[in-house]
Structure 1
Amino acid sequence: MSASQEATKEVEASPSYTVKINASIALKLASIGESSNSITTGPIFGFDGVEDNIISVTHTIAFPTFNSSNSNNNNSADDFFNLRSSNSRFQQDYLNKLETAGYTAHLLGWFICSTGGKYISQSVVESLLQLQDTLRNNKREIPSLLMVYDPSKSRDGFLSLKCFKLSDAFLRTVKSENKFVAKNLIENKLSYKNLLEEMPVIIKSNHLTNLKIQEFDLDYSRDSDTLLIAPSSYENIKASTDQLYDAINHFNHNLGNLNYFQRNLARDISKINKWESKIQQENEEKLKADPRAKVENPDWRKEFKLPPPSSKYEYLIASSAVNNICNSLEVTENIEYVKATGVESSLPL
Structure 2
Amino acid sequence: MAENTTLENETPVVDYSIKLNASVALKLSNLGEINPTAITTGPIYGFYGVESNIINITHTIAFPTFNNFSNSNGFEDFFNLKNANSKFQENYLEKLRATNNTANLLGWFVSSSGGKFMSQSIIESLYQLQENFKNNKSDIPSILIVYDPLKSIEGYLNLKCYKLSKSFLKTITSENKFIAKNLIENKLSYKNILEEVPVVIKSNNLINLKIQEFNNITTSEDDNINHLSINSKTFENIKYSYDQLSDSINHFNHNLGNLNYFQRNLSRDIAKINKWENKVKQTNEELLKSNPNAKLENTDWRSEFKLLAPSSKFEYLIATSDVNNICNNLQSIENIELVKATGIKESI
What is the SS of the residue equivalent to 1:275?
helix
Match of 1:195 in 2: 193
Distance apart, 1:300 and its partner CA: 1.0
- Asked if residue 99 in structure 1 is aligned to residue 97 in structure 2, the reply is yes
Deviations 1:303-334 (A, max 9, x none): 11111111111111111111111111111121
Amino acid at match of 2:160: K
Any residues of structure 2 matched to 1:194-213 within 5 Å, and which? 194-207=192-205, 209=206, 212-213=209-210
Percent sequence identity is 61
Q: Distance in 1 between matches of 2:16 and 2:75?
A: 28
Amino acid at match of 1:200: P
Match of 1:21 in 2: 20
What is the SS of the residue equivalent to 1:310?
coil
Q: Distance in 1 between matches of 2:75 and 2:64?
A: 16
What is the SS of the residue equivalent to 2:191?
helix
User: Which runs of 5 or more structure 1 residues have no equivalent in the other structure?
Assistant: 1-8
Q: Which of 192, 213, 217 is matched with 1:216 structurally?
A: 213
Q: Distance in 1 between matches of 2:67 and 2:318?
A: 27
- Asked if residue 141 in structure 1 is aligned to residue 139 in structure 2, the reply is yes
Q: Distance in 1 between matches of 2:339 and 2:75?
A: 32
Counting helix residues as a fraction of each chain, which structure ranks higher?
A: 1
Match of 2:6 in 1: none
Match of 1:269 in 2: 270
Q: Distance in 2 between matches of 1:79 and 1:312?
A: 17
Match of 1:240 in 2: 241
Distance apart, 1:205 and its partner CA: 1.9
Amino acid at match of 2:14: P
Q: Distance in 1 between matches of 2:74 and 2:57?
A: 27
Amino acid at match of 1:59: H
- Asked if residue 130 in structure 1 is aligned to residue 131 in structure 2, the reply is no
Match of 1:323 in 2: 324
Match of 2:34 in 1: 35
Asked whether the 8 Å contact 1:77–1:121 carries over to 2, the reply is: no
Asked whether the 8 Å contact 2:170–2:186 carries over to 1, the reply is: yes
Distance apart, 1:65 and its partner CA: 5.0
Match of 1:252 in 2: 253
Match of 1:184 in 2: 182
Asked whether the 8 Å contact 2:65–2:85 carries over to 1, the reply is: no
After superposing the two structures, state which structure 1 stretch, 335-344 or 260-269, moved more: 335-344
Q: Distance in 2 between matches of 1:123 and 1:67?
A: 17
Match of 2:61 in 1: 61
Q: Distance in 1 between matches of 2:324 and 2:23?
A: 31
Q: Distance in 1 between matches of 2:91 and 2:99?
A: 12
Q: Compared with structure 1, are the counterparts of its residues 122 and 15 closer, same or farther at alpha carbon in structure 2 (3 Å cutoff)? A: same
Q: Compared with structure 1, are the counterparts of its residues 323 and 48 closer, same or farther at alpha carbon in structure 2 (3 Å cutoff)? A: same
Match of 2:45 in 1: 45
User: Which runs of 5 or more structure 2 residues have no equivalent in the other structure?
Assistant: 1-8
Amino acid at match of 2:41: T
Q: Distance in 1 between matches of 2:29 and 2:275?
A: 64
What is the SS of the residue equivalent to 1:39?
strand
Amino acid at match of 2:139: E
Match of 1:6 in 2: none
Q: Distance in 2 between matches of 1:54 and 1:296?
A: 66
What is the SS of the residue equivalent to 1:116?
coil
Matched length: 335
What is the SS of the residue equivalent to 1:111?
strand
After superposing the two structures, state which structure 1 stretch, 169-178 or 147-156, moved more: 147-156
Distance apart, 1:75 and its partner CA: 2.9
Asked whether the 8 Å contact 2:40–2:66 carries over to 1, the reply is: no
Q: Distance in 1 between matches of 2:197 and 2:337?
A: 27
Q: Compared with structure 1, are the counterparts of its residues 227 and 89 closer, same or farther at alpha carbon in structure 2 (3 Å cutoff)? A: farther
After superposing the two structures, state which structure 1 stretch, 224-233 or 25-34, moved more: 224-233
Asked whether the 8 Å contact 2:47–2:103 carries over to 1, the reply is: yes
Deviations 1:66-89 (A, max 9, x none): 787xx5423387554351333222
What is the SS of the residue equivalent to 1:194?
coil
Distance apart, 1:213 and its partner CA: 4.1
Q: Compared with structure 1, are the counterparts of its residues 329 and 292 closer, same or farther at alpha carbon in structure 2 (3 Å cutoff)? A: same
Distance apart, 1:138 and its partner CA: 2.3
Q: Distance in 1 between matches of 2:344 and 2:121?
A: 43
Q: Distance in 2 between matches of 1:187 and 1:232?
A: 44
Asked whether the 8 Å contact 1:116–1:236 carries over to 2, the reply is: yes
Amino acid at match of 1:47: F
Q: Which of 153, 164, 173 is matched with 2:151 structurally?
A: 153
Asked whether the 8 Å contact 1:244–1:322 carries over to 2, the reply is: yes
